[in-house]
Amino acid sequence: MLSPTTAPTSLYGQPLYGQTPDGNRLKAGVFNEHEVRAAAGLTMALGTTAFVFAYFARVYAPIQVVTTVFFVEFLMRVLFGFQYSPVRWATRWMTSRRPPEWASAKPKRFAWSMGLVMSFAMMVITNVGIRGALPLTICLICITLMWMEAVLGLCVGCEIHGFLVRRGWAQKDPAYEVCAHGACSIATRP
């Protein structure tokens, strides 16, 4: 039986306590996949709106504000966890009627680190006044990644993390590593 708690801990993510199928005690950091996907949808809507203003109306203030907000949002997620994210409060309300679907915190943190790098780049680029193909390309990549997470449930950062683990270039979470759609699974060798 697995049960989440919000008790303070040094564990990254919401702590999940319980017992594994083989009877071992479990303490792992997880996030609710439904909340994470809803957050991707909200940020996608914000980013797309700012993108439309910037590249079709040539009004750049919204994209400058949104990229700064995204940087702060991803910084909070990477440093402290999704449970302290400002966007999470809205998504928690939006998904409150759905039972949680727990996903490992480590692959999500990797994905959010990618988001942090891209949002930092966009914040710098848009706030110093760079226009043209570079911010357009980065913005479209970000919107596409958020759409894939929100609509398809495909976390590209989690897929990359799973690839790195399978190659032996990164370590999986030893306690509990389950990603949506099996992105973190490692095939057993015969």
Averaged over 58-69, what is the pLDDT?
96
- The pLDDT, as a whole number, for residue 15 is 85
Longest dimension (CA), the chain: 60
How many whole angstroms separate alpha carbon 73 and alpha carbon 46?
13
Q: What number of CA atoms fall less than 13 Å from residue 94's CA on the CB side?
A: 16
Averaged over 129-151, what is the pLDDT?
94
- The pLDDT, as a whole number, for residue 48 is 97
- For CA atoms 55, 57, 59, 64, the dihedral sign is negative
Structure-token pair, residue 135: 């911010």
How many whole angstroms separate alpha carbon 58 and alpha carbon 144?
21
- The pLDDT, as a whole number, for residue 190 is 46
- Can you tell me which residue has the tokens 């203003």? 53
User: What does pLDDT average to over the chain?
Assistant: 87
Q: What is the pLDDT of residues 65-116, one digit of tens each?
A: 999 999 999 999 999 999 889 899 889 999 999 999 888 888 999 999 999 9
What residues form DSSP beta bridges with 14? 30
Confidence of residue 8 (pLDDT cuts 50, 70, 90): very low
- The pLDDT, as a whole number, for residue 6 is 47
- The pLDDT, as a whole number, for residue 123 is 96
